[in-house]
Amino acid sequence: MQGRTGRPPRTSREEILAAARALVDRDGWDKLTIRRLAGELGVGATTLYHHLRDKQDLLVQLLDHYAEQIPRPELPPDPRERIIVAAITMHDSLAGWPRIAELLTADDLIGRSALWMVDAMVGGAMDCGCTPEQAVDVYRGIWYYTVGEITVRAHAARRRATDERPVHRDVVYRSLDGAELPALAAVAQDWPRWTTKDTYRQGLRAFVSGMLAELTGAG
Amino acid sequence: MQGRTGRPPRTSREEILAAARALVDRDGWDKLTIRRLAGELGVGATTLYHHLRDKQDLLVQLLDHYAEQIPRPELPPDPRERIIVAAITMHDSLAGWPRIAELLTADDLIGRSALWMVDAMVGGAMDCGCTPEQAVDVYRGIWYYTVGEITVRAHAARRRATDERPVHRDVVYRSLDGAELPALAAVAQDWPRWTTKDTYRQGLRAFVSGMLAELTGAG
DNA sequence: GCTACTTTCGGAACATGTTCGAAAACTCCT
DNA sequence: AGGAGTTTTCGAACATGTTCCGAAAGTAGC
């Protein structure tokens, strides 16, 4: 139990995270910069780099803290429904997080506090007759689908909010060549409306059904 | 047909894109910066902003040019297989592109030259009995799944390449509580190995099967 | 030729994330 | 007390994307 050596720390990781949360609550996500956060704490900017690897690390920590507070829904007894409920909880929690798209590129995003969702999905798949390996495949597919949905959707929302120009895709679709791209020409009119629908749940159910049917033998 | 007015341009969008491609081919993606590209062209850095909205715009243009060169595979007559083949072509093309994860957050990524893939998927779904709206839903689900897979995978590869630390997720999984998270404890050993498998095709088939079964009436 | 007008150019400046290296502040050992 | 070792702090500096604004360089009308 020798006392620790070296210069005593002036701030701690916990303090930094708490200050970051307070700063975000007060001034918004745009104001969360390394320098401003350091100023808030009364330390030099570079000091933070002794407690955090980089800014992404900071954001991941904040998300982790947030994940602890996700209300844990009652999981239904039916294993297939358990997968669905856990996936939807994961999706909705992440979708409510600002700037989530920047973080979802990190694969080790899931801290201990959110592992119960992963466990529910993997366990549900095994209870549906999957081998452990197949269950992991099911979860990974759900994770990919969820990450993609949130990423694309978050960006689209941001685009609508900050950009006044028309969406490039919409312009392209309006001038389609019906002879070369008949299917797109047929849906071009309604494309903008249809692509704003929320189809996450529908797609999720389809994916889970398809995977379970393939893995455990259809019929 | 009055001649154009104003100071004559010293460089053009085309020249910039060509120089960017040459720069990337010669020095790699890390060296593609606004200042360096401008220096290569012999113009001021800020001049580029008269031809490009921002750097992301530049990257999207480069990707678009690349998309034109994607070899167009023969699409099978079976509509369901047509969806699969088009999706796999799209996925493999995007997956081969460096830094793709930064760009996939843009939803209007698809230029005219790549629309035949979207058309094949939407058309295939309609030929499978979907309504146009349902066909768009099928395509969107595929797009989400594809974006997610590529994003997560690209980041994992980058992490492996640049980072010597162990993956956080692996560390967490190694110290799991078997009583609280039984399913994860059961798969923890094999998790790293299983998650490096390429399951894109399997998941894609599952998703398409599930969607078509739900939409067109199972059985 | 002269004056508008228009378009492009580019230097200065700013904010930001991040690295480097040296100084500071503490404990431990002799 | 005094050095050795260790950890933390932080100012300076760098690279980068981006905005601002005035200067440059043309055309059109008179």
- Can you give the pLDDT at residue A204? 98
Q: What is the rounded average pLDDT for all residues in chain A?
A: 90
Using CB atoms, pick whichever of B168, B172, B211 lies closest to residue A206. B211
Give all strands (DSSP E) within chain A, no chain letters: none
Q: Answer yes or no: do B145 and A207 touch at CB < 8 A.
A: yes
Which residue reads 């629908």 in tokens? A197
- Can you give the pLDDT at residue B219? 45
Q: Answer yes or no: do B149 and A154 touch at CB < 8 A.
A: no
Q: Answer yes or no: do A152 and B144 touch at CB < 8 A.
A: yes
CA nearest to A131 within chain B = B187
A1 touches strand C (CB under 7 A): no
Asked if the model's pLDDT at residue A146 lies above 90, the reply is: yes
More confident call, B77 vs A219: B77
Nearest to A92 by CA among A107, A72, A122: A72
Lowest-confidence region among A4-8, A51-55, A148-152, B97-101: B97-101
What percent of chain A stands above pLDDT 90?
Answer: 69
Q: How far are the Cα atoms of A103, A156, A166 from residue A162, in angstroms, in the given order?
A: 20, 10, 11
As assigned by CATH, the class of the B74-216 domain is: mainly alpha
pLDDT tier at A179 (50, 70, 90 boundaries)? confident
Asked if the model's pLDDT at residue A124 lies above 70, the reply is: yes
Encoding tokens for residue B126? 């309609």
Distance of CA A92 to the CA centre of its chain: 9
As assigned by CATH, the class of the A11-52 domain is: mainly alpha
Å from A208 to nearest chain B CA?
8
Residues in CB range of B216: below 8 A, 6 or more apart:
B128, B129, B130
Residue A22 burial (CB count, 10 A)? 12
- Can you give the pLDDT at residue B156? 81
- Can you give the pLDDT at residue B161? 77
Residues in CB range of A32: below 8 A, 6 or more apart:
A20, A23, A24
Å from A116 to nearest chain B CA?
7
Encoding tokens for residue B206? 């599952």
- Contact between residue A87 and residue A142 where contact means Cβ atoms under 8 Å apart: yes
Question: Whole-angstrom Cα distance, residue A81 to residue A204?
Answer: 11
Which amino acid is located at B49 in the chain? Y
Residue A168 burial (CB count, 10 A)? 17
- Can you give the pLDDT at residue B166? 67
More confident call, A20 vs B6: A20
pLDDT tier at A99 (50, 70, 90 boundaries)? confident
Lowest-confidence region among A114-123, A150-159, A169-178, B111-120: A169-178
CA nearest to B173 within chain A = A112
Residues in CB range of A91: below 8 A, 6 or more apart:
A146, A149, A150, A200, A204
Question: Whole-angstrom Cα distance, residue A8 to residue A5?
Answer: 8
A71-216 shares the fold of A11-52: no
Which residue reads 């210069």 in tokens? A7
Asked if the model's pLDDT at residue A166 lies above 70, the reply is: no
Lowest-confidence region among A98-107, A164-173, B82-91: A164-173
The topology under which CATH files domain A71-216 is: Tetracycline Repressor; domain 2 (1.10.357)
Half-sphere exposure of A79 (CA within 13 A, CB side): 16
More confident call, B101 vs A190: A190
Using CB atoms, pick whichever of A195, A206, A208 lies closest to residue B136. A195
Residues in CB range of A185: below 8 A, 6 or more apart:
A176, A177, A178
Domain boundaries, chain B: 74-216
Give mean pLDDT, residues A16-39. Answer: 97
A190 vs B: CB within 8 A: yes
Q: Which residues touch strand D (CB under 7 A)?
A: A 4-11, 43-47, 49-51; B 2-8, 31-36, 45-46, 49, 54-56
Using CB atoms, pick whichever of A110, A123, A156 lies closest to residue B107. A156
B8 touches strand C (CB under 7 A): yes
- Contact between residue A56 and residue B159 where contact means Cβ atoms under 8 Å apart: no
Residues of chain B with pLDDT under 50: 1, 219
pLDDT tier at A172 (50, 70, 90 boundaries)? confident
Q: Answer yes or no: do B187 and A136 touch at CB < 8 A.
A: yes
- Provide, as residue numbers in chain B, all residues whose Cβ is less than 8 Å from the Cβ of A181: 115-116, 119
Nearest to B124 by CA among B198, B201, B215, B218: B215
- Can you give the pLDDT at residue B49? 97
Q: Answer yes or no: do A211 and B208 touch at CB < 8 A.
A: no
B144 vs A: CB within 8 A: yes
